[in-house]
A and B are shown apart, each in its own frame.
Chain A
């Protein structure tokens, strides 16, 4: 069957900052430039590497490795902690520059953005020249060390693939003319969304490379490979048709923390849980939602993971409400053990204005208003100007972080 490849002119541009956290650190600190550098969650030997610099990548250091593994590969590797304030500022500038070219821009993460030019007058200039111009503006307006990869195509999937072809500092276009050539040089796992387990599934039905994946017909993908509509989406995606132009609705808010000092002391753990609930609650309230579901996960010293989730009858909105529900779950642990990691999250979100007032609890409204007022004070005078008493001495515990895939 002849594949109906999308022959339209490309209108989607994917931009990816190279080694984002590390490059930004090198931009701010000129003495780090040209050196193997890793940004790790913690600079200790067990700290997880969030981003290696381009120089470190060339030596074989990868995201997700431990600092000690990087130090074995390169004993002189420089280790730094992330600076979220700095990275967010670069992200803002990055978005501002991209926003000059189209009103339809979607940040995919702190270092990735998709620009849709289909309704933008700038399209007349040609996407390649716009890509070159954006790269130049990044260097001039953000910093000379900042480089990015630009991918151009007819859909988000192929634009992202194009942005990954020549790293660092590449600019590639994938369209109907070179699509097959590009696929012929790649492995299945080079495609965004295909991991080793998906690869194994494709291998089972005789698909061993992206070109064979492209040649597979729609019905076979739907009925034999993916057993559902996902197969059809892949059929379209591979041929340059847009199926990923949607926004996921947020379904939960969560915070987690790996304890620097592992403990089974209930008072210590309560303090940490309170701070996690305060951070989670601030985000929940800012979204004008309350949560009916709560979840607690604990990793113990012996690496055993215990978790418990529950949907409550009453919604939680204030930090106190979130904290008390999490503590209900906490006390359901079968064994009291030394805790090394705590994760809290709330789900089953509902707009707070849609919740009818309780007939029995008359103070709820007052408590919610106080909670909002406290948030406003903290917004105006600085984070943790007012905080729950349980959080005393916790100012530098649970640091600000940028989550993968989020901003």
Chain B
């Protein structure tokens, strides 16, 4: 099932300088912590002058689509899905 959301969430982000890998480490959504295990895809998108980083990540149970606003440094959870038919 796929659910479109647009909720502000808390994120701990990690950057590994040796591997040059940047990925959300943990997200807190609805008072629950989700540890990110894998990055599916990362890309950037411009909406006018604002630059957003979109992270498609998974904690092993759910896939999350996260949007990082580089203008105000906020995180939005845009979508969750579990890979099952709706």
Contacts and interface: CB of A to CB of B under 8 A. Distances in A.
Does B bind A? Answer: yes
Interface of A: 24, 27-32, 35, 43, 76-80, 85-86, 89-90, 143, 378-383, 385
B83 A78 contact: yes
Interface of B: 2, 38, 40-41, 43-45, 47-50, 54, 56, 58, 62-63, 65, 81-86
A47 to B, nearest CB: 12
B56 A29 contact: yes
Contacts of B44: 89
A86 B41 contact: yes
Contacts of B85: 76-79
Chain B CB within 10 A, most for which of A31, A78, A383? A31
Chain A CB within 10 A, most for which of B41, B48, B58? B41
A32 B83 contact: yes
Nearest to B40: A28
Given A85-B43, A143-B41, A31 B83 contact: yes
Contact of A382 (B50, B56, B86): B50
A30 B40 contact: yes
A379 B40 CA distance: 29
Contact of B48 (A78, A86, A381): A381
A378 B86 CA distance: 35
A248 to B, nearest CB: 29
Chain B CB within 10 A, most for which of A29, A31, A32, A43? A29
Contact of B84 (A43, A78, A86): A78
Contact of A29 (B45, B50, B83): B83
Contacts of B45: 85, 89
B48 A380 contact: yes
Nearest to A35: B83
Contacts of B56: 28-29, 86
Given A27-B40, A143-B40, A382-B47, A80 B83 contact: no
A80 to B, nearest CB: 7
B58 A80 contact: no
A380 B54 CA distance: 20
Nearest to B81: A29
A80 B2 contact: yes
B48 A385 contact: yes
Contacts of A31: 58, 62-63, 81-83
A377 to B, nearest CB: 9
A78 B43 CA distance: 24
Nearest to A36: B85
Sorted nearest first, the 9 A-B pairs with minimum C-beta distance are: A31-B83, A382-B48, A381-B48, A28-B56, A89-B43, A28-B41, A382-B47, A29-B63, A28-B40
